[in-house]
Chain A
């Protein structure tokens, strides 16, 4: 699909949505051919043809109605889906975003939605020769179906922001590409006046600021997970714990480098997730290898990269975080045409987890980890004994039947993000599918929101 054709269709559909509202928008039938254990499919939405390549997810409940916000990899903008009835997800609206710009990172709290603006990566459908937008957009979502843009904060740097977090309150935490720095750094934004956000502080790894010496290259993927005065970050090669009681001057509490041996430096710790109510972090890499045998970045072939980390980190002593355990690696079900997912094609390995615990509408469980695993779909792990994590459920979407974007070269499912709402509905996105809505049927106890 050419960019012009793509844009034209997007504009047309956007017009149709705006013009006719909910009229023609019904749930799509659930694509056949998925495989699962202890997970059942409840619903599916093809997102009005922008099915493939929904990326990050956020959710909000208002007056008994549930609104799912999702950014897109292949389309410019974000979509709002009514998932009040998980079996009947209805696209409410697609909000077109700036041209030639990724706007797929979303987070929200209360009435504030934040979307990231970022230069599209090479090979991902953008035009590097054309201009792009960058920074973050802040939206008022008091009317959840009609976000109203309040402001646009710019980094002034080259590529904008990546996975930002807004845990509510005064500050947003950005993964920002700032002028004068190498790789994204943590920028804390004061959004107390959301029409006029102001930088309140920043933190970077020594060596990122131009002029500082470093043999390594660092990149803060984001988000920061903030509990009280403590921020937990996956930061390039490390798990980093910061004291942010003075946001103008975050200070290091503790750090655990994990790369080498795990993962590729930039995303060796893609994110961390603070387990609610327990002194534990989930820390994991993002697998990169497998997009294309001709990929210009590291690792074109599946699994041709250092083993990605998926592990529990004990933070009883936050000054000395320690690796407690690693998770079992998913294996294909019996009868698969491959004995390990490395041979399936595309990426195989961890990517995202259910981590918007700042939201009361997100499930708070301290005994289960939901992790997307690219071609291995969604995997669910029991961490009741965090020394011995075990897999207790999984869902692998069917083989895609339609290509929505150029990656991966081999058309296989690539599960991207996962979000679980407080009702236990599990939403997953995929590069080449719409959004599957699932439920875990394996039992266990739910923990009430903090």
Chain B
């Protein structure tokens, strides 16, 4: 999408949403679009991101009592920063354009460092891969949270990086396309001098290095790695992988659990560490459903995993339970979300728990589920996870990008701050801010109980 057409669509959006016009100039809160459905969740606020719908990944930080939400944009490469101090009145503070025709939507932050990924896009996502010029990872100083200052740009020498993680401290972990390898591999970057990041180590699955015999199925590390002391927990291709990283230059395998087959699509998209329970939440990404009839949800692709893995013995991780598959509410025109259109299945969870401003894992798992919105699961008894809440955005009224072909909600990412505010992104919406009205949220997390009664 060119800059000029982007502006054109922005004008169109304002024209259609008359209420938004009044707020557009001061970038104030947009009204919550009507038509959502929910159980045990209520919407608090909404931002249309100044017409740039299709925010993707989220990160958050609090500075001097003000809360800043960072959102990478899927269709408009770049970064939006939103003041969400008042969740009912989110304010877009700035939009920083990214590299043109380049995926720039994966991000993470800790302390004063923000990292944003640069990657050559896949065809069919509204960008021109042939014109993509940038790749790698950018490192930003966010001491002034509203005015990120680029410190460095590290390059892979290949097609760039995907979902990278920065849990604070000395190392960034990258899901990097590296010369000489098939698919993305894990690369550790030493950012102790953030102006001059250096590779510190790498790990890959046998068969990924081009000099090795290729694996039967392509393998790629989606990222991020979840770091806890000397351990790294990864969703890596067909498996949940646990690494010992006490020597960062030579990560070693502690244990792994292959889940694909039988699970499929993007088999292990990520893991979330629930340390107090000795568990990982592991989930795939459902990728079928973007383009009917070539790709229809549930039609030909294997089931996507969403389950809990017991890591009491980290050398032998074991599948403990699966989270129940969401069902449409009574009265829906379809009996399974498979028939709603678009993708149906898990995508992202609230995994940036390295950050002090993100809700710590407790009894609740938040999962962005594409056309089924965001789903909340109670794992108080991890052998019997149960669904305890959900929110489905309304049917989109405006198209922001070419996917999915059928214009339906596609909830992408979810982030929960320590105040209990839930932020969700969607391919064809701005950002909804929600609250879970059920029980089970960690009690030590915040003090904003009053917000529930708003």
Interface residues of A (CB under 8 A from B): 256-258, 260-262, 303, 305-307, 309, 311, 322-326, 328-329, 331, 339-340, 342, 385, 387-388, 390
Contact = CB atoms under 8 A, between A and B. Distances in A.
Top 6 A-B pairs, shortest CB-CB distance: A261-B319, A323-B262, A322-B302, A258-B262, A307-B319, A261-B259
Interface string B308-346: 000000000011111011010000000110100000000
Contact of A331 (B319, B327, B384): B384
Interface string B50-85: 000000000000000000000000000000000000
Contacts of A342: 383
Interface residues of B, number: 27
B298 A257 contact: no
Contacts of A339: 381, 384
A260 B257 contact: yes
Contacts of A311: 262, 303
Interface string B243-263: 000000000000001110111
Given A258-B262, A325-B325, A328-B324, A340 B302 contact: no
A322 B302 CA distance: 5
A362 B261 CA distance: 33
A388 B335 CA distance: 9
Nearest to A283: B262
A99 B259 CA distance: 44
Given A322-B301, A329-B384, A340-B384, A388 B258 contact: no
Given A307-B322, A339-B381, A340-B381, A322 B300 contact: yes
B320 A262 contact: no
A323 B322 contact: no
Interface string B296-307: 001011110001
B259 A323 contact: no
A324 B303 contact: yes
Given A306-B319, A388-B325, A258 B261 contact: yes
A258 B257 CA distance: 12
A388 B263 contact: no
A105 B338 CA distance: 40
Nearest to B301: A322
Nearest to B256: A260
A324 B258 contact: no
B378 to A, nearest CB: 12
Given A322-B301, A387-B338, A307 B321 contact: yes
Contacts of B257: 260-261
B404 interface: no
B319 A323 contact: no
Contacts of A388: 325, 327, 335-336
26 contacts: A258-B262, A260-B258, A260-B259, A261-B263, A261-B307, A262-B319, A305-B318, A307-B318, A307-B320, A309-B262, A311-B303, A322-B262, A322-B301, A322-B303, A323-B262, A323-B263, A324-B302, A324-B303, A326-B322, A331-B384, A339-B384, A342-B383, A385-B335, A387-B298, A388-B325, A390-B327
A307 B263 CA distance: 14
Given A322-B262, A323-B264, 8 more contacts: A258-B262, A309-B262, A322-B264, A324-B298, A324-B303, A325-B325, A339-B384, A340-B383
Contacts of A260: 257-259, 319
Contacts of B303: 311, 322-326
Nearest to B324: A328
A434 B205 CA distance: 53
A258 B303 CA distance: 12
B306 to A, nearest CB: 10
B262 A256 contact: yes
Interface of B: 257-259, 261-264, 298, 300-303, 307, 318-322, 324-325, 327, 335-336, 338, 381, 383-384
Contacts of B298: 324, 387
A356 to B, nearest CB: 26
B302 A329 contact: no
Among A262, A325, A326: residue with most chain B CB under 10 A = A326
Secondary structure of the B contact surface, majority rule:
loop
B301 to A, nearest CB: 7
A324 B335 CA distance: 16
B386 to A, nearest CB: 8
Contacts of A385: 335-336
B104 to A, nearest CB: 34
A261 B158 CA distance: 34
A258 to B, nearest CB: 4
A325 B327 CA distance: 13
Given A322-B301, A322-B302, A385-B336, A257 B324 contact: no
Contacts of A261: 257-259, 263, 307, 318-319
B335 A329 contact: no
Given A306-B318, A307-B319, A325-B303, A256 B261 contact: yes
Contacts of B300: 322
Nearest to B310: A306
Nearest to A384: B335
A269 to B, nearest CB: 10
A13 B300 CA distance: 57
Contacts of A262: 262, 319
A340 B338 CA distance: 29
B353 to A, nearest CB: 24
B3 to A, nearest CB: 42
Which of B258, B262, B321, B338 has the largest number of chain A CB atoms within 10 A? Answer: B262
A256 to B, nearest CB: 6
Contacts of B262: 256-258, 262, 309, 311, 322-323
Contacts of A258: 261-262
Contacts of A322: 262, 264, 300-303
Contacts of A257: 261-262
Nearest to A339: B381
Given A322-B264, A323-B261, A303 B383 contact: yes
A290 to B, nearest CB: 13
A322 B264 CA distance: 9
Contact of A323 (B302, B335, B384): B302
A289 B338 CA distance: 35
A321 B427 CA distance: 32
Contacts of B325: 325-326, 388
B118 to A, nearest CB: 34
A303 B383 CA distance: 9
Contacts of A390: 327
A416 B384 CA distance: 23
A387 B322 contact: no
A374 to B, nearest CB: 15
A303 B303 CA distance: 23
B336 A387 contact: yes
A154 to B, nearest CB: 37
A373 to B, nearest CB: 14
A240 to B, nearest CB: 13
B297 to A, nearest CB: 9
A306 B264 CA distance: 19
Nearest to A312: B303
Contacts of B302: 322-324
A306 B319 CA distance: 5
Residue with the greatest number of chain B CB neighbours at <10 A, chosen from A261, A325, A331: A261
Contacts of A306: 318-319
B188 to A, nearest CB: 27
A387 B318 CA distance: 25
Contacts of A303: 383
A322 B267 CA distance: 13
A311 B264 CA distance: 14
A307 B307 CA distance: 10
B258 A329 contact: no
A331 B298 CA distance: 26
B130 to A, nearest CB: 34
A385 B328 CA distance: 13
A330 to B, nearest CB: 10
